[in-house]
Each structure stands twice: as structure tokens, then as C-alpha cells.
């Protein structure tokens, strides 16, 4: 394929696949916790990290990771202790992150707001080898946490009180979820952009929930959607010369609409099956056989 003849597209496609895996893998826990917009908030904070990277002449991916993790921890602490004024504190954190990014990048030698654009909305041509190395390492951490601790994270996401009663370290797991979400934001910012990454964390999960009823199935379908739309958006961006982040997000929303349309007749079929007293067309051999008691009565 012509697209694979270019080194920058090879790097972009690899980054896109990793983003397609990691974003829904973390997003499923955020959706369960009703924190769908957490990725958006972390993206605002990560802008300060990007600006620091330019100011200090280091990799913006690693400085954005550090600042995002600190911001995610602060968000969790505010959620725990800021019961009355928590929303104001979060607003200041988000807006301060944006302002810090713009300030630092303009203070950097030769820096301007134009340097920030590729991080805000994604850019294929600027994904370097060092970026790919950082993305691979960070993606490995995200996948390890999302899969290795899936039972514990799911329990905490569903019911914190029940998880606490069962002996799980709820606060530590909440912090780990926040940190993993922060890492995911920095993984995705080179492909999707900081301002659009939250959509890739949430919408594939919402689309998968239209068809799936179990956590494992939703997880698998969401990751499949994420990989499909990131690759599709990256390829479309190359051939049509359109922004990759916006293209990926629009493809994700289109997938959600298609699956929602397909889910409607399936839901009606399930409703008819329940009204009829069981799934239609169940073979007779699947029925529970009757047993006869010693007194001659028939039971199940």
C-alpha cells in the first residue's frame, strides 16, 4: 500500500492503533463511574505540560504525562474533600491548565500558539520516533492496568461502598483509575488531540453498550470500535487532507448512530421474547425436564 511507504504514516498508524485500544479500555471505567468528561478536564490540564515541554526543550509527551497525572490526582482529592466548592476548584484547575499551556509555549524560545495546535487537534506528520516510543510505553501501562485489574476496577466503578465492604482499597483504585486516564490522554494527544480525546474514551463505550449486555463483551466491542475508527480516520486524513482528530471523532459518532439504529430492532425482539415467556424458537430439548416425586406428583 502506498500509505505504508512513508515512515511518518507508519508511525501515525501505529500510534492510532494504540490509541484505539487504550482510550476505550480506560473509558469503560469512566463511563461506569459517571465521569465521562474526566478525560476532557485532564486534556485541559495537559496543555500546561505541553507548554512546559517546549519551554524546557524536552519531550512534550513526558511533561504532559507528568502534569496530567498530577492534575488527575488533584481532581480525585477535590472529589473526596471538596464537597461544597469542588466544582469551582475543578473549574480553576481546568482553566488554569489551558492558560498555563498558552503562557509557557509563548515563553519558549521560538514558541507560538501554532506549536500548540497539533497537540490540541492531533497531527499525523509530527509524530516522531521518540513520540512513538513514549506512546508504546505508556500504552503498555494502560493496558496492563485496564486488563490486569479489571475485576477490582469494575467493582469500584459499580459500587464503591460494596467494594469497600469486600476489602478492596477503594481510594487507591480510584487514584489508579485517574492516573491511567491521565496517561491515556497523553497517549492519544498526538493522534486525536487534547480537546477531542474524551470523545474517543466515551463514545465507543456508549456505542458498544447498544449491543452488549456484559462487561467483557462491551469491553471487546468498544476496543474494536476504537481501533477501527482510529485507523479509518488516520487513513482518511492522509488521502483527503483533513484533520485526523476531527475525522476520528466524527467516525466514532457515526459508529454510535449506526449501532443505535441496529440496537432498536434487537431490543424489540427481546421485548417480544420476554412477553412470550421465553426466547422464540427454543428447542424442546432445552426445556427443564419434569421429575416425579415418590408420592406421584410431578415437579420441576
In the predicted model, is pLDDT for residue 83 greater than 70?
no
Question: pLDDT value at position 148?
Answer: 92
Question: pLDDT value at position 6?
Answer: 83
Question: pLDDT value at position 244?
Answer: 87
In the predicted model, is pLDDT for residue 279 greater than 70?
no
295 pLDDT tier (thresholds 50, 70, 90):
very low
Q: What is the pLDDT of residues 191-239, one digit of tens each?
A: 888 888 889 999 999 999 988 878 899 999 999 999 999 999 999 988 9
Up-side HSE of residue 276: CA atoms within 13 Å toward CB? 11
Lowest mean pLDDT segment, chosen from 109-123, 157-171, 173-187, 230-244: 109-123
What number is the average pLDDT over the span 257-281? 73
286 pLDDT tier (thresholds 50, 70, 90):
very low
Phi-psi region of 295 (alpha: psi -120 to 50; beta: other; left: phi over 0): alpha
**pTM of the full predicted structure?**
0.82
What distance in Å separates the CA atoms of residue 139 and residue 154, rounded to the nearest whole number?
20
Residues in CB range of 243: below 8 A, 6 or more apart:
121, 122, 237
φ and ψ at residue 292, rounded to 5 degrees: -105, 125
57 pLDDT tier (thresholds 50, 70, 90):
confident
In the predicted model, is pLDDT for residue 299 greater than 80?
no
* pLDDT: which is higher, 269 or 12: 12
What distance in Å separates the CA atoms of residue 101 and residue 97, rounded to the nearest whole number?
6
What number is the average pLDDT over the span 175-181? 92
What number is the average pLDDT over the span 237-261? 91
Amino acid at each position: 500500500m502506498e500509505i505504508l511507504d512513508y515512515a511518518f504514516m507508519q508511525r501515525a498508524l501505529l500510534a492510532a492503533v494504540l490509541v484505539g485500544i487504550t482510550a476505550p479500555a480506560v473509558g469503560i471505567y469512566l463511563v461506569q463511574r459517571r465521569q465521562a468528561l474526566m478525560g476532557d478536564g485532564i486534556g485541559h490540564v495537559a496543555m500546561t505540560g505541553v507548554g512546559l515541554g517546549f519551554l524546557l526543550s524536552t519531550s512534550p509527551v513526558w511533561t504532559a504525562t507528568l502534569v496530567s497525572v498530577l492534575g488527575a490526582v488533584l481532581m480525585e482529592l477535590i472529589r473526596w474533600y471538596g464537597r461544597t466548592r469542588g466544582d469551582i476548584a475543578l473549574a480553576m484547575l481546568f482553566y488554569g491548565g489551558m492558560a498555563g499551556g498558552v503562557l509557557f509555549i509563548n515563553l519558549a524560545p521560538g514558541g507560538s500558539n501554532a506549536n500548540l495546535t497539533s497537540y490540541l487537534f492531533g497531527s499525523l506528520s509530527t509524530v516522531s520516533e521518540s513520540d512513538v516510543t513514549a506512546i508504546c510505553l505508556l500504552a503498555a501501562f494502560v493496558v496492563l492496568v485496564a486488563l490486569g485489574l479489571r475485576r477490582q476496577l469494575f467493582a469500584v466503578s459499580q459500587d464503591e461502598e460494596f467494594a469497600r465492604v469486600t476489602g478492596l482499597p477503594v481510594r487507591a483504585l480510584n487514584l489508579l483509575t485517574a492516573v491511567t486516564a491521565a496517561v491515556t490522554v497523553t497517549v492519544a494527544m498526538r493522534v486525536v488531540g487534547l480537546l477531542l480525546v474524551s470523545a474517543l474514551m466515551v463514545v465507543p463505550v456508549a456505542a458498544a453498550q447498544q449491543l452488549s449486555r456484559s462487561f467483557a463483551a462491551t469491553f471487546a466491542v468498544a476496543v474494536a470500535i476504537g481501533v477501527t475508527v482510529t485507523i479509518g480516520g488516520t487513513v482518511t486524513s492522509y488521502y483527503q487532507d483533513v484533520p485526523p482528530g476531527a475525522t476520528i471523532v466524527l467516525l466514532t459518532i457515526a459508529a454510535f448512530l449506526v449501532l443505535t439504529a441496529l440496537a432498536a430492532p434487537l431490543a424489540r425482539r427481546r421485548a417480544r421474547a420476554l412477553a412470550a415467556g421465553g426466547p422464540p424458537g427454543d428447542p424442546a430439548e432445552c426445556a427443564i425436564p419434569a421429575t416425579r416425586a415418590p408420592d406421584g406428583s410431578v415437579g420441576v
